[in-house]
Amino acid sequence: MRRLFRLIAAAIALSILAASPALAGSRIKDIVEFEGVRDNMLVGYGIVVGLNGSGDSLQNAPFTKQSLEAMLERLGVNTRAADATINTKDVAAVMVTARLPAFSASGSPIDATVSALGDSKSLLGGTLLVTPLLGADGQAYAVAQGTVQTGAVSASGASGSNVIKGVPTAGRIANGAIVEREIGFHMASMETLRLTLRNPDFTTARRIADAINGFAANTAVAENPTIVTLRPPPGRDMVSFVTDVENLEVEPDSPAKVVVDEVAGVVVMGDDVRISTVAIAQGNLTISVQETPQVSQPAPFSQGQTTVTSQSQLHVDEEKGRHLIVVPNGTSLANLVKGLNALGVTPRDLISILQTIKAAGALQADVSVM
């Protein structure tokens, strides 16, 4: 009897689990940005040396010549004498950019990107000299130096023909910059922290606040569709509380939207797109004109001239087998796609149909054309 009771209980539990709908939840850390946890852009001006004749021409790039002269003078080399002439193609002026990750410690390496500024042909194999990288406040936060790797191939012949694969005037230095200054951001001592939704939505913001308050009561408030304010409970610091909050699962919501890329012929529709009652018919009309040249010869001894005439053939082709499709009210995305597939439409025809349905007021969604 006990064994039979256990089997019945297990069967009931399995039936309940099978009947319950599965929710596709996302972690909070995957749908929001945390205040202060962000990268910072850095930029600097530098010189790449050691190029194999593919650098800037100093006559066309005076800033490269000035930078080279100033650098050599700092190293004790007088380049401004009357008999000193600089004419090299192994130097290029570049702009160096990098992203300073959040909470980067002094001495940590980061990647740097190098891009040509003058008329250099390639940066392959060049070496970037010490370049300070500045932030938006004008302070130097990192210093970059190292060998530039472009990942590109370029070759040219004496006749002027050339082959270029990739972009040889831009490269990357892996771990080529060292962080010299830290950004003062003390998250652990913060009393409140704002979460910014990547896709603003009232429903999603409310669900995030409810999920956090379910974990720790009275710690989250949805201020608007974009911001959810977080306050740690008494006795806990912000870092440890965020560690628990970011792994909570929430089912995000999104408005009904249709995104159309007319150039690539791509249409993306959300699951909440609905169609009111509408009838759709679609067909293509093709008109082709073919010109056939003919030579007209004059009769013998008629003193006429040979002329070329054109004979035109006009052909009109209208697609057959396209019927009028009635889409009922409240049709879901799956039924809409099924009905449009019944018409045999192409992606570009689908773009025109969706825009026409929207103009008729029957498409209950926002249409965004890229």
State pLDDT tens for residues 237-281.
999 999 999 999 999 888 888 887 777 777 787 777 777 776 766
Q: Which residue has the tokens 């300070």?
A: 132
Per-residue pLDDT, 11:
45
Tell me: pLDDT of 153 over 50: yes
Contact 272, 253 (CB under 8 A): no
Tokens for 118, please give them.
Answer: 């003058």
Strands 153-156 and 109-116 turn out to be unpaired
Neighbour count for residue 23 (Cβ, 10 Å):
8
What distance in Å separates the CA atoms of residue 195 and residue 102, rounded to the nearest whole number?
Answer: 16
37 band by pLDDT with thresholds 50, 70 and 90: confident
Tell me: pLDDT of 139 over 90: yes
Per-residue pLDDT, 157:
65
What distance in Å separates the CA atoms of residue 325 and residue 342, rounded to the nearest whole number?
Answer: 8
Per-residue pLDDT, 180:
94
> For the chain, how many residues are written?
370
What distance in Å separates the CA atoms of residue 303 and residue 300, rounded to the nearest whole number?
Answer: 8
| Longest CA span, the chain | 122
Tell me: pLDDT of 27 over 80: yes
Distance of CA 264 to the CA centre of its chain: 16
- Mean pLDDT across the chain, nearest whole number? 79
The CA-CA-CA angle for residues 305, 306, 309, to 5°, reads 125
Tokens for 246, please give them.
Answer: 């970011």
Contact 134, 42 (CB under 8 A): yes
Per-residue pLDDT, 183:
85
310 band by pLDDT with thresholds 50, 70 and 90: low
Per-residue pLDDT, 271:
74
What distance in Å separates the CA atoms of residue 270 and residue 368, rounded to the nearest whole number?
Answer: 12
Tell me: pLDDT of 54 over 80: yes
Tokens for 65, please give them.
Answer: 């010549």
307 band by pLDDT with thresholds 50, 70 and 90: confident
Neighbour count for residue 206 (Cβ, 10 Å):
15
Phi and psi at 120, nearest 5°, equal -65, 150
50-54, 129-133, 343-347: the lowest-pLDDT one: 343-347
- The DSSP call for residue 30 is G
Percent of the chain with pLDDT over 70: 74
36-50, 122-136, 329-343: the lowest-pLDDT one: 329-343
What distance in Å separates the CA atoms of residue 61 and residue 119, rounded to the nearest whole number?
Answer: 7
The answer to whether the Cα torsion of 234, 235, 238, 239 is positive or negative is: negative
Tokens for 15, please give them.
Answer: 């039936």
More confident: 359 or 178: 178
Tell me: pLDDT of 168 over 80: yes
Average pLDDT over residues 147-156: 79
Average pLDDT over residues 324-334: 59
158 band by pLDDT with thresholds 50, 70 and 90: low
Tell me: pLDDT of 14 over 60: no
More confident: 260 or 177: 177
Contact 47, 117 (CB under 8 A): no
Assign 315 to helix, strand or coil. strand
Q: Measure the N-to-C terminal CA separation of the chain; round to a whole number of Å.
A: 67
Per-residue pLDDT, 320:
53
Q: Which of 295, 293, 285 is nearest to 349 (CA)?
A: 285
